[in-house]
């Protein structure tokens, strides 16, 4: 009876390990698609008002049109005249708009034009003693010091920012996703990270 119970539980857990990630992936994709549809809704409405296309086809056409627009703008910016016009427009108009610079930096981070601030993992001594905490190096300064983000577990979207001298920051050769897994699991699996200091 005990073996049957163990078999039943392990089979359910095995099924969950397959179904749950797939379900979460589909949920996230559905959520992202919903955000995209909401963002392009004004353009889709214009297209639907002028044609008898199904909603999903109209959404697809708008997305393709936006991708083509980005391509054309990118092509124009490759020319000397395009660069000059964009530089002038950005300097005289866009940079004076509140929040433009922050938005531009954020977009550049997401599309990979800039090195991600979370690409460098480290163990840091924020108290100056032997206590070490998991962190991401977010900036390096001309004097050799670092700015680090120390996320809180299990929710890594919140945390604290510290500015530390180089002697208290120990960079480790660990991918960001491995460090993130350790933080989300409240430190489980940290032994592999600590070993990289030795």
Domain residues for the domain of 88 are: 79-110
- Contact by Cβ (8 Å): 37, 57: no
- Are residues 100 and 125 located together in one domain of the fold? no
Residues 186 and 153 in one domain: yes
pLDDT at 165 over 90: yes
Q: Identify whether residues 154 and 188 lie together within a single domain.
A: yes
| Residue at token pair 């979370």 | 118
Q: Tell whether 56 and 10 lie within a shared domain.
A: yes
Range in 3-7, 28-32, 58-62 the model is least confident about: 3-7
Name the band, by pLDDT with cuts 50, 70 and 90, for residue 110.
low
Beta bridge partners, 149, equal 136, 161
User: What pLDDT shows up at residue 115?
Assistant: 58
CATH of the domain at 174: 2.30.30
Q: Same domain, yes or no, for 89 and 34?
A: no
Please report the pLDDT score of residue 162 as a whole number. 93
Window from 118-132, 139-153, 158-172 with minimum mean pLDDT: 118-132
In eight-state DSSP terms, residue 84 is: H
Same domain, 172 and 142: yes
Q: Are residues 8 and 49 in the same domain?
A: yes
Please tell me whether residues 14 and 49 are part of one structural domain.
yes
Distance (Å, rounded) from C-alpha 63 to C-alpha 65? 5
Among 88-92, 107-111, 154-158, where is mean pLDDT lowest? Answer: 107-111
* Cβ-based neighbours of 193, under 8 Å, separated by 6 or more: 121, 123, 134, 172, 174, 178, 179, 182
Domain count, the chain: 3
The DSSP secondary-structure symbol of 134 reads: E
């Amino acid at each position: 009876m005990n073996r049957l119970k163990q078999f039943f539980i392990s089979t359910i857990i095995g099924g969950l390990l397959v179904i749950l990630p797939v379900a979460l992936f589909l949920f996230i994709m559905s959520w992202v698609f919903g955000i995209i549809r909401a963002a392009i809704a004004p353009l889709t409405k214009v297209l639907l008002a002028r044609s008898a296309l199904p909603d999903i086809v109209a959404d697809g056409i708008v997305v393709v049109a936006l991708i083509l627009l980005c391509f054309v703008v990118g092509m124009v910016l490759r020319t000397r005249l395009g660069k000059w016009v964009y530089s002038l427009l950005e300097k005289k108009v866009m940079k004076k708009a509140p929040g433009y610079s922050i938005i531009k930096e954020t977009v550049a981070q997401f599309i990979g034009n800039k090195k991600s601030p979370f690409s460098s993992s480290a163990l840091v001594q924020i108290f100056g003693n032997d206590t070490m905490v998991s962190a991401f190096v977010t900036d390096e300064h001309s004097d050799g010091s670092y700015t680090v983000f120390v996320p809180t577990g299990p929710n890594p979207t919140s945390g604290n920012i510290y500015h530390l001298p180089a002697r208290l920051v120990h960079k480790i050769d660990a991918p960001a996703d491995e460090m993130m897994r350790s933080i989300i699991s409240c430190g489980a699996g940290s032994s592999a990270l600590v070993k990289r200091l030795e």
